[in-house]
Structure 1
Amino acid sequence: MQMVTAAAVALALAGGAAPAATAHQPTATAHQPTATAHRSATDGTWRMDGYGTVVSIRGGTFQEYQTTAVSCIQGDSAQRTGPGAYTLPDGTVLTVRVGGGRDRASVRADGSVGDRKLSRIPELPAACTRTDPEGPLAAFDVFWQSFEENYPFFSAKGVDWHAQRDRYRPAVHAGTTRDELFAVFSEMVEPLHDAHVAAQDGDRIFAEPRPGTVVPNGKLDADTKKFILERDLAKARNLQDFAAGRITYADLPGGQGYLRISGFGGYAGADTSHAAQLAELDRALDAALGRERPRSPNGLIIDLRINGGGSDALGIHISERLTDSPYVAYSKRARNDPADPTAHTRPQAVHVTPAQGPRHTGPVAVLTGGSTFSAGETFVQALMDRPGRTVRIGQPTQGVFSDVMMRKLPGGMTAWLPNEEFLTRSGRTFDGTGIPPHFTEPVFTKEEFEKKRDSAFDRAVHVLRRHGGTTG
């Protein structure tokens, strides 16, 4: 049940440690009901709608089983820490709610924007009670089948997954080495150019972003931030860093506000709880949007050009500071039929409700590029139907929106893949292509650095100053 963000992918590819999930482990108290008190409500065996998952809840333990037509492999387990709450070893809290005649339930990970639906089944599938398959060929079959049953984008990517199996499976046998098998998996997924797809073997990870784009990493973030400080913010006032440097705010000379966000998480050091992330985010937003800041009709620039993603919920939280009217940010759905890539779960609408704190409801210019990943992109999508004027400037985003499924393979390797789509009001998804800008400008190119230009930033200042954020 572990969910991985593009931030983790980016850090792994850059050689850094992936951040722990933004979740909070509740402290037990004398008033918490015991596991026995909740056995009748949540205990049992459940099949998840989509996600290739069966869940067993018994004796205070939430146990995941990752299933395909050829396998059932035991996944993560969580322990009950409160009424309907189960905490994974990394601190992520899973909340299970039973309803619909007790044969229907839902589970939500702390900080997520959507639920996963559960249906009660009599017992574990037979494959889950047998010994896991072993050997390179078994690993290959589970790897291929996991994508076959869950990946939604083969047609859009122009990749024949059956042809990949026919090409590579004959080369795998009992004597295939670990390095050879990792190379096979890497070659199989490389044509997808999907930054939410990866083959992992311990610290070794292969992932391939969209051609012509760069995966966000610490050096890129530091270099571009230094450039922005020296070039764009040299004459700015009230320059402040928040959230361990991941958020920067400044008042520009022309009256606009500038808000740079390099990720949606990692805000509170060792405290990875969702509550801690929200507290740091609110501290930054209060300073940026508070009554003491000079308000200006010239609007707010939000810079997401280097953003490795993180928690979608934090993006929704910011959106709630940018509107006076409720609206739907987007809808989520997941592929849910192993034999039909066009079948999906019922779309779940994700709502934006105006926040109680200080808000900015004037024009917004959002700077994006190919290094705007995952939760950075869902935040951009959440602003598309914002009631205030919003304009996008720069380059298309990366084109990866889904949570990432981590599927264990026989022998210890792991496959990472998406299975969700984020839909606009008209039912469109931007997976693969990314969200396009209204105004196209170069973003952190070699020429821009050499000539000390930031065309996207300058365009944003001009648009807000002269046109109030209109796209015409």
Structure 2
Amino acid sequence: MSLQSIIRTRAPHRLTTHSLAPSPARPSVLSLPLEGCLLLLLTACGGGNSDESKVLVKEIRGEVIQAGHIATELQGAWRVLGEGSLVEVQGDSWVRYHQSPSFCLRERISLGQQELTGLIFRSRSVGANTATDLYLAEGAPSSMSLEKVAQIPPACKQAAPSDPASTFKAMWEFFDQDYAFFKERGIDWAKRRLALAPIAAAARNDDELQAVLEEALEGFNDHHVSLIRFDAQGEVLHYSDSARTPTLLLLNQAFLAQNEVADLDSFSAQWQQHLWTQAGLRLSERNGGDTAELLNGALQWGKLPGNVGYIALSRLSEFAEGSNGHQDVALIRAAMDRALLALADTKAMIVDIAVNDGGYDLVSAEVASSFADQRRATFSTTARRPEGRAPREWFIAPKGAKPYLKPVYLLTSDRTVSAGDTLALMMRTLPHVTQVGQATSGSMSDKLGKTLPGNFLVTLSHERSVDPQGVSYEVKGVPPKLALAVFDPKNPASLFSGHAAALDRVLAMIR
């Protein structure tokens, strides 16, 4: 998950974020002390003594929020590379504009100090040109890459047409320029425009328009493709996720077959809690005797029969009320250190992310580094249209007092989503880790939000991640080394019993 406008929904799925890495055309930023500044005077090749042959280079590093305010060095107008958007920073205001061939639209929800606190910036100016990268933490890939521009175009600050035809056109253009997986997901986007644009233009109200927009997004089966609708007060009135994976279909069937729970979200939450409780009952030394929910209910650990360690993570963000990515990284580090210290004498470990709603890739890296034997490359990420942004390279390296290097079994399913996908991609590089279960969801890209005219917003997948061999697991998911059914689409009862049965089979492997 990067930095973008953060919209809170039931499942994180890296719903926020921007990402940026240094442009390949410019040198990497020097590592400077906090608040450090370096001035260099470069002389151009070709000789000469005139002032025109000299270029001033300035490098600055610091925290984005300083003394409660956005840093002076970030003030002004910027292009966000790889995302088709602009940012204007004025005082403590951070306003984002989304551009397409026909539109420039102000984002409905902008970043605030809570999202920006703890972030680090590195800025490099060469003459009149300035580029800046933002980072969630030291040593992390850049979360956002900015290129200084003279100003936000005046058209961006003018009211855009909000008729149904414009709303559909804007959505189509945003997907057309930034969605990265039309071919892999079998979507003929041009054909959908021809079929649905006239129907959208004839919509008489938001309900009719919503139906057309949902039809346009039908069949993506991508956890990061969604449609969001706001009411007159700007509150989320409707949220539609286009994913229809086998386990989600099982879940929907089970929901329709009962009449006690009124909505699918509540039913899904109760289902996840059932699996969580069922696994917890098997544990001794559960959570070190701590009765409080760990990481805001995202973590539980203990020992399974046969002296096998167990660590389960249901998501990879929102570990405390109101926490941001920077804070979540610190929280997961402390929690993993505590758990692995208590489980150090076990003979093997099960890391359970079979139901994991995602979060931050940097949190995934912290978890994977708890099991790392050495520094290893795991994957790299490139935006569909980089605009000068270099690929983000992800590495893991040993972290914590003592990384766990005994046999580890990583349990996954198609409900292992987003940052859960990337955690599996990181863990599979380790020689003592065996992925078991089912392939992950195959939804790895950050979730890029785009404001539409009127009362709608869409999110989409705009980045492609590949492993060190150049293989992408988007759509197909990260495959297990040892396949076993966790949730069997041919057996509806497995929705409630399959997870426990899968744990039994992994324990039998270890024995």
Q: State the TM-score, normalizing by the size of structure 2.
A: 0.76
1:14-163 → structure 2 map (5 Å cutoff): 29=67, 39=72, 41-75=73-107, 88=112, 91-93=115-117, 95-101=120-126, 103-108=129-134, 110=136, 113-125=141-153, 127-163=155-191
Structure 1 stretches lacking a partner, 5+ long: 13-17, 79-86, 338-342, 466-472
1:271-350 → structure 2 map (5 Å cutoff): 271-274=322-325, 276-290=327-341, 292-296=342-346, 298-336=347-385, 345-350=389-394
Measured against aligned partners, the alpha-carbon deviations of 1:304-343 in whole angstroms (never above 9, x if no partner) come to 0111111211111111211131112221111117xxxxx9
Q: Give the % identical residues.
A: 23
Aligned to 1:352: 396
Q: Whole-Å Cα distance in 2 between the matches of residues 367 and 436 of structure 1? A: 11
Q: Whole-Å Cα distance in 2 between the matches of residues 99 and 77 of structure 1? A: 28
AA at the equivalent of 2:212: V
AA at the equivalent of 1:433: K
Alignment counterpart, residue 319 of structure 2, candidates 245, 252, 267: 267
AA at the equivalent of 1:250: G
AA at the equivalent of 1:226: T
Alignment counterpart, residue 429 of structure 1, candidates 472, 495, 511: 472
Of residues 188-197 and 352-361 in structure 1, the stretch that sits farther from structure 2 once superposed is 352-361
Measured against aligned partners, the alpha-carbon deviations of 1:273-327 in whole angstroms (never above 9, x if no partner) come to 445434542343233211x54524x321100011111121111111121113111
Give yes or no for the alignment of 1:378 onto 2:422.
yes
Aligned to 1:414: 457
Alignment counterpart, residue 4 of structure 2, candidates 2, 5, 13: 2
Q: Whole-Å Cα distance in 2 between the matches of residues 420 and 207 of structure 1? A: 18
AA at the equivalent of 1:207: D
Of residues 441-450 and 50-59 in structure 1, the stretch that sits farther from structure 2 once superposed is 441-450
Measured against aligned partners, the alpha-carbon deviations of 1:377-402 in whole angstroms (never above 9, x if no partner) come to 1111111212x311111111111111
CA drift of 1:76 comes to: 6.1
Q: Is the 8 A contact 2:317 2:359 kept in 1?
A: yes
Of residues 447-456 and 116-125 in structure 1, the stretch that sits farther from structure 2 once superposed is 447-456
Q: Is the 8 A contact 1:9 1:196 kept in 2?
A: no
Structure 2 stretches lacking a partner, 5+ long: 18-62, 231-236, 252-264, 288-292
Q: Is the 8 A contact 1:51 1:150 kept in 2?
A: yes
CA drift of 1:46 comes to: 2.1
Structure 1 residues 294 and 95: alpha-carbon distance in aligned structure 2, compared to 1, 3 A threshold: closer
Aligned to 1:84: none
Measured against aligned partners, the alpha-carbon deviations of 1:126-159 in whole angstroms (never above 9, x if no partner) come to 5324332221111111111010010000011111
CA drift of 1:59 comes to: 4.1
Structure 1 residues 374 and 113: alpha-carbon distance in aligned structure 2, compared to 1, 3 A threshold: farther
Measured against aligned partners, the alpha-carbon deviations of 1:7-50 in whole angstroms (never above 9, x if no partner) come to 846379xxxxx9999xxx99864xx8x87xx65x4333322221
Measured against aligned partners, the alpha-carbon deviations of 1:172-224 in whole angstroms (never above 9, x if no partner) come to 23653100111111011112111110111122111121431328942221011
CA drift of 1:448 comes to: 3.8
Aligned to 1:223: 274
Structure 1 residues 90 and 42: alpha-carbon distance in aligned structure 2, compared to 1, 3 A threshold: closer
Of residues 257-266 and 271-280 in structure 1, the stretch that sits farther from structure 2 once superposed is 271-280
Aligned to 2:444: 401
Measured against aligned partners, the alpha-carbon deviations of 1:49-78 in whole angstroms (never above 9, x if no partner) come to 211111223445332111111100112686
Give yes or no for the alignment of 1:164 onto 2:192.
yes
Structure 1 residues 326 and 50: alpha-carbon distance in aligned structure 2, compared to 1, 3 A threshold: same
Q: Secondary structure at the match of 2:301?
A: strand
Aligned to 1:237: 284
Q: Would you identify which runs of 4 or more consecutive aligned residues in structure 1 move more than 6 Å?
A: 18-21, 25-28, 449-453
Q: Secondary structure at the match of 1:192?
A: coil
Q: Whole-Å Cα distance in 1 between the matches of residues 447 and 496 of structure 2? A: 37
Aligned to 2:407: 363
Q: Whole-Å Cα distance in 2 between the matches of residues 58 and 455 of structure 1? A: 56
Aligned to 2:506: 460
Q: Whole-Å Cα distance in 2 between the matches of residues 19 and 332 of structure 1? A: 17
Q: Whole-Å Cα distance in 1 between the matches of residues 425 and 371 of structure 2? A: 14
Aligned to 1:470: none
Q: Whole-Å Cα distance in 1 between the matches of residues 456 and 409 of structure 2? A: 42
AA at the equivalent of 2:78: W
CA drift of 1:238 comes to: 0.9
Aligned to 2:233: none
Aligned to 1:255: 307
Of residues 101-110 and 407-416 in structure 1, the stretch that sits farther from structure 2 once superposed is 101-110
AA at the equivalent of 1:351: F
AA at the equivalent of 2:397: T
Q: Whole-Å Cα distance in 1 between the matches of residues 344 and 171 of structure 2? A: 55
Of residues 405-414 and 346-355 in structure 1, the stretch that sits farther from structure 2 once superposed is 346-355
Q: Secondary structure at the match of 2:356?
A: coil
Q: Is the 8 A contact 1:367 1:394 kept in 2?
A: yes
AA at the equivalent of 1:179: D
Q: Could you say what the CA RMSD is over the residues aligned between the two structures, in angstroms?
A: 3.1
Q: Whole-Å Cα distance in 1 between the matches of residues 79 and 498 of structure 2? A: 55
Alignment counterpart, residue 239 of structure 2, candidates 180, 197, 205: 205
AA at the equivalent of 2:420: G
Structure 1 residues 3 and 136: alpha-carbon distance in aligned structure 2, compared to 1, 3 A threshold: same
Q: Secondary structure at the match of 1:10?
A: coil
Q: Whole-Å Cα distance in 1 between the matches of residues 209 and 469 of structure 2? A: 42
Q: Whole-Å Cα distance in 2 between the matches of residues 104 and 463 of structure 1? A: 56
Of residues 355-364 and 448-457 in structure 1, the stretch that sits farther from structure 2 once superposed is 448-457
Structure 1 residues 127 and 428: alpha-carbon distance in aligned structure 2, compared to 1, 3 A threshold: farther
Structure 1 residues 421 and 251: alpha-carbon distance in aligned structure 2, compared to 1, 3 A threshold: same
Q: Is the 8 A contact 2:12 2:317 kept in 1?
A: no
Aligned to 2:218: 190
